[in-house]
């Protein structure tokens, strides 16, 4: 049975904003790049994603109250492959809810879902997206506000304010430890390796390394948050190994993204209020951009086109 499919949507262009991000250095607006390609997920995928989060939290001894999650996932053979679990209230809600509304689809919010109520602007160019999120949430009867935050950007790491406070569960080690315990049908996790289970010498060749903390000191020193093993020989191999053996980095099976008919790479973003998957969007990276993205290691909001993600019964 087909539980997910990529298809084209007719988007109401008048609903879409011109820009949702701003360059934090030069101050200019970054055009909001959208696509009519979108992702349709059956409700059983939505239910299993919720079950995945419930088990993830139970495994680590946390309650879902007050937490929001952003799941990054690849699509493969009718499966959703969870690449990262980010405890994230901030990014993506405005884009996701706006795209679904532009597609003419109503978002259903469970009565016990703790929807995001506060977005903190650290001056890193996300203010317009937060304003859009507040507007879209208001249309759904949810209240949200923007709070000012002050952080100094790290000049050596893309100008991102690296000291933005993150929840402990945001560390990639938590997903790595949980991955081997999860038994899913439509929602899976690529094979993951960490020092507690697999010594460095037994890690296979075709993996991608991820630092536990995306903006932590290890990733800042390496000037990247992810690196493919076959590339780590160029000056970073020993450093990656040291981080892995200290529990500061994990390895994940290399997965090719699902590609559209024109060769564009795709990735799904699913936004969850607690253990309730609410909305999301499909990220699409045209082939001509892949050189810039270094073999599509990084698919992010500012470099990809965004299309709607719809849950259906």
The answer to whether the CB of 120 falls within 8 A of the CB of 90 is: yes
Neighbours of 36 (CB within 10 A): 15
Tens of pLDDT, residue by residue over 60-75, are 999 988 899 999 999 9
Instruction: Read off φ and ψ for residue 20, nearest 5 degrees.
Output: -125, -5
Tens of pLDDT, residues 197-210 = 999 999 998 999 99
pLDDT band at 245 (very low <50, low <70, confident <90, very high): very high
Does residue 195 contact residue 211 with C-beta atoms inside 8 Å? no
- Whether pTM > 0.85 for this model: the answer is yes
Burial of 183 (C-beta count, 10 Å sphere; 0-12/13-18/19+): exposed
Q: Which sign does the torsion angle of CA 206, 209, 210, 215 carry?
A: negative
Domain assignment present for 3: no
Q: Which of 245, 269, 300, 241 is nearest to 38 (CA)?
A: 269
Cα 109 from Cα 132, distance rounded (Å)? 18
Domain final residue pick, 254, 276, 298: 254
206 lies in the same domain as 233: yes
Cα-only R_g, the chain: 19
* pLDDT attached to residue 2: 74
User: CA separation (Å) from 161 to 124, 154, 210?
Assistant: 7, 6, 19
| Mean pLDDT value across the chain | 88
3-state SS class at 273:
strand
- Same domain as 214, residue 100: no
Would you place residue 231 in the very low, low, confident or very high pLDDT band (cuts 50, 70, 90)?
low
Residue 192 structure tokens: 């993951």
Residue where a domain terminates, one of 204, 234, 254: 254
Domain boundary among 238, 254, 270: 254
What pLDDT shows up at residue 293? 47
Who has greater pLDDT, 162 or 192?
A: 192
Residues 65 and 203 in one domain: no
90 and 233 together in one domain: no
Which among 119, 234, 251 is positioned nearest to 172, based on CA atoms? 251
Q: Are 170 and 203 part of one and the same domain?
A: no
Structural domains of the chain, count: 2
Q: Record the tokens describing residue 263, joined without a space.
A: 């060769």
173 vs 89 pLDDT, higher one: 173
User: Is there a single domain that holds both residue 290 and residue 218?
Assistant: no
Q: What pLDDT score was predicted for residue 289?
A: 56
Q: Among 36-40, 46-50, 236-240, 269-273, which stretch is predicted with the lowest mean pLDDT? A: 236-240
Residues 37 and 174 in one domain: yes
Q: Please indicate, yes or no, whether residues 62 and 158 belong to a single structural domain of this protein.
A: yes
**Is residue 229 within 8 Å of 215, Cβ to Cβ?**
no
Mean pLDDT of 8-13: 97
- The three-state DSSP-derived secondary structure of 77-117 is CCEEEEEEEEECCCCCHHHHHHHHHHCCCCCCCCCCCCCCC
Residues 66 and 154 in one domain: yes
Three-class secondary structure of residue 19 per DSSP: strand
Residue 153 within any structural domain of the chain: yes
Domain span holding position 125: 30-190+260-312
Provide the pLDDT confidence category of residue 221 given band limits of 50, 70 and 90.
confident
48 and 184 in contact (C-beta within 8 Å)? Answer: yes
Q: Is residue 141 part of a domain?
A: yes
The answer to whether residues 239 and 138 belong to one domain is no
Asked if the structure places residue 15 within a domain, the reply is: no
pLDDT cut 70: percent of the chain above it: 89
- CA 52, 194, 92: angle at the middle one, nearest 5? 45
Exposed (0-12), middle (13-18) or buried (19+): which is 275, by Cβ within 10 Å? buried
Which residues fall within 8 angstroms of residue 206, CB to CB, at 6 or more apart?
A: 229, 230, 253, 254
- Residues 152 and 3: their CA atoms lie apart, in Å, by 44
Structural domain contains residue 14 = no
In a domain, 75, yes or no: yes
Length of the chain in terms of residues written:
313
Task: Over range 140-168, report the average pLDDT.
Answer: 72
Q: Tens of pLDDT along 285-294?
A: 987 655 444 5
Question: Is residue 203 a part of any domain in this protein?
Answer: yes
My answer on whether 295 and 154 are in the same domain is yes
**Is residue 94 one of the residues assigned to a domain?**
yes
Using alpha carbons, list the distances in angstroms from residue 115 to 46, 106, 216, 231, 276.
Answer: 17, 16, 27, 40, 10
36 and 113 co-located in one domain:
yes
DSSP secondary structure of 184-229: -SSEE---EE-TTTS-GGGS-SSEEEEESSTTSHHHHHHT-SEEEG
């Amino acid at each position: 049975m087909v539980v997910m499919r990529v298809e084209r949507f007719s988007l109401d262009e008048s609903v879409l904003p011109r820009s949702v991000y701003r360059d934090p250095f030069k101050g200019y607006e970054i055009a909001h790049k959208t696509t009519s390609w979108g992702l349709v997920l059956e409700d059983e995928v939505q239910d299993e994603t919720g079950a995945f989060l419930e088990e993830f939290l139970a495994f680590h001894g946390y309650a879902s109250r007050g937490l929001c999650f952003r799941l990054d996932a690849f699509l493969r053979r009718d499966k959703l492959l969870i690449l990262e679990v980010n405890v994230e209230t901030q990014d993506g809600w405005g884009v996701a809810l706006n795209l679904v509304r532009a597609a003419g689809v109503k978002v259903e919010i469970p009565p016990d879902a703790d929807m995001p109520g506060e977005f903190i602007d650290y001056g890193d160019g996300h203010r317009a997206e937060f304003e859009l999120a507040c507007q879209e949430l208001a249309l759904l009867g949810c209240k949200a506000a923007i709070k000012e935050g002050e952080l100094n950007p790290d000049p050596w790491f893309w100008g991102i304010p690296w000291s933005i406070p993150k929840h402990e569960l945001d560390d990639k080690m938590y997903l790595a430890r949980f991955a081997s315990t999860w038994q899913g049908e439509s929602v899976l996790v690529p094979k993951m390796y960490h020092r507690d289970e697999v010594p460095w010498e037994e890690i296979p060749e075709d993996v991608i390394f991820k630092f536990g903390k995306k903006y932590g000191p290890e990733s800042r020193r390496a000037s990247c948050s992810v690196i493919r093993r076959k590339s780590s020989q160029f000056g970073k191999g020993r450093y990656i190994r040291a981080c892995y053996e200290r529990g500061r980095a994990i390895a994940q099976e290399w997965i090719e993204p699902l590609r559209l008919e024109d060769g564009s790479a795709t990735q799904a973003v699913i936004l969850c209020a607690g253990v309730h998957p609410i909305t999301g969007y499909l990220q699409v990276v045209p082939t001509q951009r892949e050189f810039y993205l270094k073999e599509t290691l990084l698919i992010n909001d500012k470099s990809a086109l965004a299309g709607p993600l719809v849950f259906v019964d």
